[in-house]
Amino acid sequence: MISPSVFSEPRSAYIHVPFCAHRCGYCDFTLVAEKDDLIDDYLSALALEFRSLSRPRQVETLFFGGGTPTHLSAGRLARLLELTFRWFQPVDGCEISIEANPAGLDNEKIDRLACSGVNRISLGVQSFNNSTLELLERDHRQDDVALIVERLQRRITNISLDLIFAVPGQTLTEWQETLKQAIELRPQHISTYGLTFEKGTSFWTRRKNRDLIPLGEELQREMYAVAMDQLTAAGFEQYEISNFARLGFRCRHNEVYWTSRSYYGFGPGAARYINGRRETNHRNVMTWLKRTLAGEPATAECEELSGEDRAREAIMLGLRQYDGIDRGDFRDLTGFSLDQLVAKHISRHCRSGLIEDTGSHIRLTREGRFLADTVIVDFL
């Protein structure tokens, strides 16, 4: 039997804003570049899509992702926020996050964000090395970051920095320096992501043509180890495979995903999980616009998960978290015994030293975090 909490009304919402000044070579997210003429149509379509809610909903977390939401002009950014808050009413203490790039984030936009109630910024820094930033096709330089963070911190105190490691040509020393400079800016949260070559991106093609050579696995492992050690020593807790936070500053919105709770999703490519049903909107921005403006559903994929599928997905997501999976909480959430489903996998990975079993919890060991994807696949 599935716990009723699985089907409770979502208290979180994700809004996808698909506009960027430029598509970076490694990016496979849903976005359009140099298409600002579509922004007004996007806002009109978003307003129509929100009407599917039928009434305003209260939320505890709200996340604007992209794309680059702050690529919008200050006026259009204000319209986006005003429109969203008509349908999503933040409760006291609501975490309201927005992704931003250092380039183009001027004082007027920062003021609009702060005055509207945005209280968390996820800043796409990626590196503090100009050569690496150029290779990643970023449109800011290392000296820009400190200036932007200082201006942000005057108005919005919860700042998260996104960093990328394992970039072709990157050295361990350079990565250590990037971490050092990030820490010195005193953010509340840092995310570290190993570069991946996604099919369909220009980086995928460049790797295929040997124009870009991925770093060796051992160096990538050393970089991840350095991130764990350096950030922990600086007072950050690692609470998920790629995420580190100061006490009290975990990203509560992302924790909704990792704990298998329900959430709304709007905009092209956005996913939602409601009543055990997973739906994803069309990733093609033009298709989403055309269908939504015509009053038609823009859903591209939908899946009604069985009870066991929900439980196995909860294992996959739960193992990403540093704290792992609590057996009692898992049973309450899914109606299944963790050991009933995956006892042999737990036992095998405990013997190999990749999982720790305390009796009440299972979680990845430090060694297991290096091989997380391989371990997690076994549980699906």
* pLDDT of 130: 97
Distance CA 167, CA 327 (A): 38
pLDDT of res. 6: 53
Domain locations along the chain: 4-258, 324-377
Would you state the CATH architecture of domain 324-377?
Answer: Orthogonal Bundle (1.10)
Chain centroid, CA 84 distance in Å: 19
CA angle 244, 246, 248 (to 5 degrees): 115
- Fold annotation for 4-258: pyruvate-formate lyase- activating enzyme (3.80.30)
> Which helix (H) or strand (E) is 290 found in, with range?
helix 285-293
Block mean pLDDT (10 aa), the chain, length 380:
60 98 95 96 98 97 97 97 98 98 95 97 97 96 95 96 98 98 98 96 96 97 98 98 98 96 97 95 97 96 93 95 95 94 95 96 96 90
Terminal alpha carbon distance of the chain = 20
User: Do the Cβ atoms of 363 and 322 come closer than 8 Å?
Assistant: yes
Helix, strand, coil fractions of the chain, as percent rounded to 5: 45, 25, 35
Query: Around Cβ 303, how many Cβ atoms within 10 Å?
Result: 12
Mapped onto helix, strand or coil, the DSSP state of residue 233 is helix
Residues contacting 322, CB < 8 A, separation 6+: 237, 238, 239, 240, 363
Domains 4-258 and 324-377 share a fold: no
Residue 290: CB atoms within 10 Å: 15
State how far the Cα of 327 lies from the Cα of 311, in Å rounded to an integer: 12
DSSP annotation of 53 reads G
Do the strands 277-281 and 299-304 form a parallel or antiparallel pair, or are they unpaired? antiparallel
